[in-house]
Structure 1
Amino acid sequence: MIQIKHAILLVLLTFSSSIFSQTTYPKITGYFGIMHPLVSINKDETTVNFRDYYAIGFPTGINIWKSEKIGFSFEVVPNIKDDQGTSKVNNLLFHPGVLVALGHGYTFAGRLAFETSGRYGVTPVINKTIKKNANSSYFVAVPLPVRFGNDHPASFTVGFQFGIAF
């Protein structure tokens, strides 16, 4: 009789540990990063960060994963620009979007973009987790912003981002 109780207890413990070890959805994660626009191109000019000026953004966001494969993300990015010795926050970007897990640590983020500078557009982003820990992970990303509006020509930018998710 004691052996049956032990067997039942063992089955229950095994079953309950497998339930609790699984990720439950929705799953909420946060992140913080540093983003450097590398080059921006429009019909009138090509500008290069670190040469023509220095610009940096600080993407901060929340991801809500509906399942292992798809989620929603909301990001806010204050941008600072130093041009000829004068630095200031020159823009605040609101960046909602959809997340698609591509496998092997890669994620695609398709974001809409609404800037306080009056510009708007889309930003496709390819993200790669490079180190995963128990409570955090480190990532690199390549954002490709396309912007319109505010009496400026359409522009395309290539950026590099790295950060931590938790």
Structure 2
Amino acid sequence: MRARRLVIAIVAVVSFFGPLVAAAPAQDTLGGHIGFVLPLATRANGTTSTISDDFVIGFPTGITVRRSQTFAFDLELVPVIQNDPLHVDLTLHPGAVWGLGNGWGAGARLAFDVNKASWGFTPILNHGLLNVGRGATLFGELVVPIRFQDDGNGTFTSIGVGVHIGVGF
């Protein structure tokens, strides 16, 4: 009986004071992006290849947590299709982007190529090109993937340059 009175008293107090506490506004906003990336040129293991040597296309899809107007954390998954030999790879690409003003952003992503002895990072520079409605923006991004790889005969570093076109929302 005593425990029952205590529970009733606690519920009454919480019910009375609960509505007086203001809800805290959320600081983070959730968004994302989808697009395609074309690696234009890559230098690896003493060899330079271009998009005309071996066509490769990726389809970055990201989930973004915007912490403020100038900072966002982004988790990007990039399935990449290579035509010769034909195969599909997947890159896990978490990173951070800082707003620079006037629609420009810069950041860096870590890069983990799934089922490959390859990891690294990717500096990025992007620019919002066109508002396409309902909070979505068409953007262009310059990417410079730097990877540390092992082909079984030793390790080497590759560096490339590519263009990512997408829609952020």
Query: TM-score scaled to structure 2, two decimals?
Result: 0.78
Within 2, Cα distance between the matches of 1:48 and 1:161?
A: 16
Which residue of structure 1 lines up, in the alignment, with residue 33 of structure 2? 31
Percent identical: 32
- 143, 157, 160: which one pairs with 1:157? 160
Q: Amino acid of the residue matched to residue 97 of structure 1?
A: G
Query: Is the CA contact (8 Å cut-off) linking 2:118 and 2:148 kept in structure 1?
Result: yes
Task: Name the SS for the 2:65 alignment partner.
Answer: strand
Within 2, Cα distance between the matches of 1:149 and 1:162?
A: 26
Which residue of structure 2 lines up, in the alignment, with residue 78 of structure 1? 79
Which residue of structure 2 lines up, in the alignment, with residue 105 of structure 1? 103
Structure 1 segments of 4+ aligned residues over 3 angstroms from their partners:
none
Q: Cα RMSD between the aligned structures?
A: 1.6
Query: Is the CA contact (8 Å cut-off) linking 2:149 and 2:158 kept in structure 1?
Result: no
Superposition deviation, residue 44 in structure 1 = 1.1
Structure 1 unmatched ranges of 5 or more: 1-23
- 45, 48, 57: which one pairs with 1:46? 48
Within 1, Cα distance between the matches of 2:27 and 2:37?
A: 29
Which residue of structure 2 lines up, in the alignment, with residue 10 of structure 1? none
Which residue of structure 1 lines up, in the alignment, with residue 8 of structure 2? none
Superposition deviation, residue 67 in structure 1 = 0.7
Within 2, Cα distance between the matches of 1:111 and 1:52?
A: 26
Deviations 1:85-126 (A, max 9, x none): x5321x210000111011111111210010012200010111
For these two proteins, the number of residue pairs brought into alignment is 140
